Structure 1
Amino acid sequence: MATSTRKPVALVTGGGSGIGRATAVRFAELGYSCVVADIDEQSAKETLGMLQTPGIAVQVDITIATSVEAMVTAAVQRFGRIDCAFNGAGILGASARIVESPEDAFDRVMDVNAKGVWLCLKYEIAQMLQQEPVVSDPARWADKPDVCRFRGVRGSIVNASSLAGLLPSTWLSPYGASKWAVLGITKTAAVEYASEGIRVNAVCPGLTATPMRDQLVEQSPPDFQDRVDPKSYPAGRLAAPEEVAEAVTWLCSDACPFTTGEHLKISGGL
């Protein structure tokens, strides 16, 4: 086990916009070196330009194993390890009821949102298993009982689910199914690797002021518009991407060393 004063490293997929971009920016503000990954390399480079810490932009297609593996390899070649990862890349898909939904649309959404998270976990965890556990502040835990002592982590991962992964998602069955799947994958990974110093959690944001929310508003049928109205939330507004980013970085931090296999709902009281 090691203690380290080096700059920790965060990997963010979907880092070219929305919640992913806000999360990369927040990690950098907290002193992390950042790997900003996105299928749109130019948008990843734009995010990279917003950061005040060392980083790299990586083009990745999370539905392709070799592309995901190359992303992780690029991160390790540049920074030596991956301390935290936010698997934020995802797509919405078209709005339609089940009967009117094309099969290929379901396959595409599941391929990106569910398989893509699974592939990211596969290669991120494989790398983390090779890493020495790190205790960032051993004195803080020195007098705790052994059962409670924070022994260090090899890595911490947060996956992007959604409020749609907790509630029925009318007109968006492929998206809802994919986000329920993310929660199952998250809990399974957490149980499989908890004893090896790797934590895996998820966030479940409600409506958030991102390009994906704009797409949802544009393509939603009239009888769905109330669902995408900020007034439908008790807080009376959308979440800001930065608010979700705060939750992601908290789950990755030393503040919750016993938290794994959990999901955090961020929905303004809904």
Structure 2
Amino acid sequence: MATGTRKPVALVTGGGSGIGRATAVRFAELGYSCVVADIDEQSVKETLGMLQTPGIAVQVDVTMATSVEAMVTAAVQRFGRIDCAFNGAGIEGTPARIADHQEEEYDRVMGVNAKGVWLCLKYEIAQMLQQEPVVSDPARWADKPDVCRFRGQRGSIVNDSSRSGLGPMPYSSAYCASKWAILGITETAAAEYAKDGIRVNAVCPALTATSMLSRLKEKLPADFMEKLDAMSPVGRVAAPQEVAEAVCWLCSDACPFTTGEHLKIAGGI
């Protein structure tokens, strides 16, 4: 989305580790200035040190409106606008079957994963609505029919759902509920703001080699994890960088007609 010498700006939550960190690094490789946000202040500073372009680290609690609003304000004060956002902050919760699940744990997972994405969208979209649409390469679209001509966008947002948002995941009812909710929030936001030049999509990765997966392996029965591993036709879990590539593609102007979609990244599952 760069025009002339202006660097586009990407905001990444959950940027202190895993898919969020890989996405921030990839955005920087593509020339974006980055706002890297996470509740873990130290980890987000570590990510910032990996970037090849200007960036800032922001500590954020995505369950708190004041914190999310302050994050967006910090981004705009530093870079002037937000072209793209990846709402990647999330937690897995404590695995348990529904009858054994604690209500407080359900509320905690839904608060971070579902409400957190909703709050990020609320303040990211509010900012994007104030921005002028950007056309990164007008000549590229000049000879295309009106029906598909890319007239510019105010922003593009990708939310981190999960393969568990598309089907059941035993021991993870709260996590599944939150990731299904993200898909509903994504489609609704996309429909509400499509004509304003704001695209909203989601990615649905399967098991990915992150610290979250390491924690799950410690908490879930070993035979259950073995069954999950055996399900993948590819025969392995995803690398965070593979998900990051998909996020950056969805944020780019390579797919201006793509909004309200979810992209499954699951190795054939």
Q: TM-score range by the shorter chain?
A: over 0.9
Whole-Å separation in 2 of the counterparts to 1:181 and 1:22: 24
> Any conservation in 2 of the 1:217–1:228 contact (CA below 8 Å)?
no
Matches within 5 A, 1:40-189: 40-189=40-189
The amino acid of 1:243's aligned partner reads E
Equivalent residue of 1:156, what SS? Answer: strand
The amino acid of 1:263's aligned partner reads H
The alpha-carbon deviation at position 21 of structure 1 amounts to 0.2
Equivalent residue of 1:178, what SS? Answer: helix
Whole-Å separation in 2 of the counterparts to 1:46 and 1:74: 19
Q: Where does the alignment leave 5 or more consecutive residues of structure 1 unmatched? A: none
Whole-Å separation in 1 of the counterparts to 2:195 and 2:6: 25
Partner of 2:200: 200
Partner of 1:12: 12
The amino acid of 1:216's aligned partner reads L
Whole-Å separation in 2 of the counterparts to 1:211 and 1:62: 19
The alpha-carbon deviation at position 36 of structure 1 amounts to 0.3
Distance 1:125 1:4, change over 3 A: farther
> Any conservation in 2 of the 1:159–1:201 contact (CA below 8 Å)?
yes
The alpha-carbon deviation at position 170 of structure 1 amounts to 1.1
Deviates more, 1:218-227 or 1:158-167: 218-227
Partner of 2:244: 245
The alpha-carbon deviation at position 222 of structure 1 amounts to 4.0
Whole-Å separation in 2 of the counterparts to 1:46 and 1:209: 19
The amino acid of 1:71's aligned partner reads M
> Any conservation in 2 of the 1:62–1:120 contact (CA below 8 Å)?
yes
Whole-Å separation in 2 of the counterparts to 1:213 and 1:197: 36
The alpha-carbon deviation at position 221 of structure 1 amounts to 2.2
Q: TM-score, normalised by structure 2?
A: 0.98
Distance 1:3 1:26, change over 3 A: closer
The alpha-carbon deviation at position 148 of structure 1 amounts to 1.3
> Any conservation in 2 of the 1:207–1:238 contact (CA below 8 Å)?
yes
> Any conservation in 2 of the 1:12–1:88 contact (CA below 8 Å)?
yes
Whole-Å separation in 2 of the counterparts to 1:222 and 1:93: 18
Q: Where does the alignment leave 5 or more consecutive residues of structure 2 unmatched? A: none
The alpha-carbon deviation at position 223 of structure 1 amounts to 4.6
> Any conservation in 2 of the 1:4–1:135 contact (CA below 8 Å)?
no
Partner of 1:22: 22
Q: Identical aligned pairs, as a percentage? A: 80
Equivalent residue of 2:46, what SS? Answer: helix
> Any conservation in 2 of the 1:38–1:44 contact (CA below 8 Å)?
yes
Equivalent residue of 1:15, what SS? Answer: coil
- Show CA shifts across 1:22-55 (max 9, x none): 0000000000000000000110000000001000
Partner of 1:258: 257
Whole-Å separation in 1 of the counterparts to 2:3 and 2:45: 32
The alpha-carbon deviation at position 144 of structure 1 amounts to 1.5
Whole-Å separation in 2 of the counterparts to 1:122 and 1:94: 28
Equivalent residue of 2:68, what SS? Answer: helix
- Show CA shifts across 1:149-207 (max 9, x none): 10000000000000000011211000000000000000000000000000000000001
The amino acid of 1:149's aligned partner reads R
The amino acid of 2:140's aligned partner reads R
The alignment of Structure 1 onto Structure 2 pairs a total of residues equal to 268
> Any conservation in 2 of the 1:199–1:260 contact (CA below 8 Å)?
yes
Partner of 2:33: 33
Whole-Å separation in 2 of the counterparts to 1:191 and 1:46: 36
The amino acid of 2:199's aligned partner reads R
Deviates more, 1:8-17 or 1:216-225: 216-225
> Any conservation in 2 of the 1:162–1:203 contact (CA below 8 Å)?
yes
Deviates more, 1:149-158 or 1:136-145: 136-145
- The 4+ residue runs of structure 1 with deviation greater than 3 A are 2-5
